């Protein structure tokens, strides 16, 4: 799979691919333009909520059209899906990777769900990401309390062995949304998993982590890092700054351009940290 090959190549080079949750046309275009400037591949992620808003085939077509001029690979990934049927529909529509979030389920059920989708996705050349040891915070409508952030190496290894997944998001102490303090990250677990398996390690909850934390995670073997909240914040700040500077403006495209540029800056900042140009 080209998607997994890109993750493995990034790991070999001491880099990580940035995976950014988009929510409209401006954010898609901004991500692709940032990838072009950073001279790197990029992963565009879509929440289930976003996909349902646009439509599965419609969003896939929009993404491909807006990213056509990017000379680097732009991969399409479905983030935090809890519905087997929906994930399989995205596979049919041409997603490069789908994530099955069975982290709220008992381990055996999580394995069964991921294995079922992996079997179907692999027939279509599509990768599957799984999660174990739930990532704290709020991602779209999914909320996880601070009491369940971690998991053991033994459970992770069993999950990797039995689920059939192609990339793995372990709960290592990161969180979705905005951090309220310094996160306590289990760097040792990342290192153990990277040493024990060739399956790429994914870090969720990238917004707000320091450059030093990012680079340490990458040095230990993380090859995909997710960023979502930073893009939403940049979008709103771009709009507010434009309206403050141009209170009488009445050209929608100028407003869209300002929002897109703000998102692009946020994406580019992360891509450069992750190993872009």
Active site amino acids: 79
Distance CA 37, CA 239 (A): 23
155, 133 in Cβ contact below 8 A? yes
42, 277 in Cβ contact below 8 A? no
Token pair, residue 254, equals 């100028």
Cβ neighbors of 117 (< 8 A, separation 6 or more) are 84, 87, 88, 91, 98, 100, 128
Gyration radius (Cα) of the chain, Å? 18
Cβ neighbors of 148 (< 8 A, separation 6 or more) are 133, 134, 136, 171
CA distances (Å), 274 to each of 27, 34, 85, in order? 19, 13, 33
154, 190 in Cβ contact below 8 A? no
């Amino acid at each position: 799979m080209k998607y997994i090959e890109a993750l493995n190549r990034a790991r070999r080079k001491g880099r990580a691919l940035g995976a950014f949750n988009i929510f409209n046309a401006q954010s898609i275009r901004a991500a692709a333009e940032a990838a072009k400037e950073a001279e790197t591949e990029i992963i565009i992620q879509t929440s289930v909520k976003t996909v349902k808003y646009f439509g599965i085939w419609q969003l896939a077509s929009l993404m491909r059209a807006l990213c056509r001029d990017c000379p680097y690979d732009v991969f399409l990934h479905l983030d935090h899906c809890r519905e087997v049927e929906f994930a399989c529909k995205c596979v049919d529509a041409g997603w490069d990777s789908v994530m099955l979030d069975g982290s709220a389920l008992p381990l055996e059920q999580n394995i069964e769900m991921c294995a079922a989708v992996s079997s179907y996705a692999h027939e279509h050349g599509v990768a599957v990401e799984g999660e174990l040891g739930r990532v704290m915070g709020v991602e779209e409508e999914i909320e996880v309390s601070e009491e369940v952030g971690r998991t053991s190496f033994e459970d992770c290894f069993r999950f990797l062995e039995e689920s059939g997944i192609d990339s793995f998001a372990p709960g290592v102490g990161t969180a979705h949304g905005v951090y309220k303090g310094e996160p306590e990250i289990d760097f040792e677990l990342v290192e153990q998993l990277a040493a024990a398996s060739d399956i790429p390690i994914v870090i969720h909850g990238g917004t707000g982590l320091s450059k030093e934390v990012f680079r340490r995670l990458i040095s230990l073997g993380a090859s995909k890092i997710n960023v979502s909240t930073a893009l939403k914040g940049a979008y709103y700040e771009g709009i507010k700054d434009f309206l403050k500077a141009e209170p009488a403006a009445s050209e929608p495209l100028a407003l869209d351009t300002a929002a897109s540029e703000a998102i692009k800056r946020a994406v580019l900042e992360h891509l450069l940290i992750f190993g872009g140009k």
